[in-house]
Amino acid sequence: MNFPFVRICGRHTFFPPYYSRIQCSAKQSQISTTTSVLLYSNYTHKIYSESHPLHTPLCSLEAEWAALFHGVQLARRRSDHCIALESDHPLILGLMVPGTQYQGSSNYFKRRLLDLMTPFDWVGGRLITPAENYSRVHLT
């Protein structure tokens, strides 16, 4: 299942030829939460991966938001200009649909994430299947 990327925000409206593809995932246990980020640059053809332990146990939805935050922060640290987010969690669909409202704290997380994405030239996203999410491998 290969969905196309949908533009979320950014100064450019066209799909860029060079971008960094970011896959995010979160894993929870009763005592801890870990997020994993896998970034592939199709310009340099390099792969970067990071795992972040979260010391405060979060609900699964907040953990997925944290994984997206960590992915965007990695791209900002690398000074990437165009990023393509991939997630197997349906919350990414809400980022792609303008005006989507969430319940509870998710509206706060969505606003913060969109603010974090402001400096990028192009940001897109798509939903992938769990089998396509290679960042999950780093959580085992």
Encode pLDDT of 27-63 as tens digits.
Answer: 877 777 888 899 999 888 999 999 988 877 567 788 8
pLDDT of residue 89: 83
- Give domain status of residue 87, yes or no: yes
pLDDT of residue 77: 93
- CA count, 13 A, side-chain hemisphere, 46: 6
Q: Would you call 82 exposed, middle or buried from its count of C-beta atoms within 10 A (0-12, 13-18, 19+)?
A: buried
Residue 114's domain comprises 6-10+17-139
- Give domain status of residue 55, yes or no: yes
- Give domain status of residue 106, yes or no: yes
Q: How confident is the model at residue 140 (pLDDT cuts 50, 70, 90)?
A: very low
Q: Tell me the pLDDT of the chain averaged across its residues.
A: 84
Q: How confident is the model at residue 4 (pLDDT cuts 50, 70, 90)?
A: confident
Q: Tell me, what DSSP letter sits at residue 137? A: G
pLDDT of residue 106: 74
> Are 80 and 20 contacting, i.e. CB atoms less than 8 angstroms apart?
yes
Prediction pTM value: 0.87
pLDDT of residue 1: 61
- Give domain status of residue 109, yes or no: yes
Closest CA to 124 of 72, 73, 60: 72
Number of domains in the chain: 1
- Mean pLDDT over residues 71-100, rounded? 84
- Give domain status of residue 92, yes or no: yes
- Give domain status of residue 97, yes or no: yes
CATH number, domain of 49, equals: 3.30.420.10
- Give domain status of residue 1, yes or no: no
| Residues 111, 115, 116, 118, CA torsion sign | positive
- Evaluate if residue 16 carries a pLDDT over 90: yes
Which residues contact residue 19 at a Cβ distance below 8 angstroms, ignoring those fewer than 6 apart? 42, 43, 80, 82, 83, 84, 122, 124
Q: How confident is the model at residue 87 (pLDDT cuts 50, 70, 90)?
A: confident
Retrieve residue 91's tokens. Answer: 């919350």
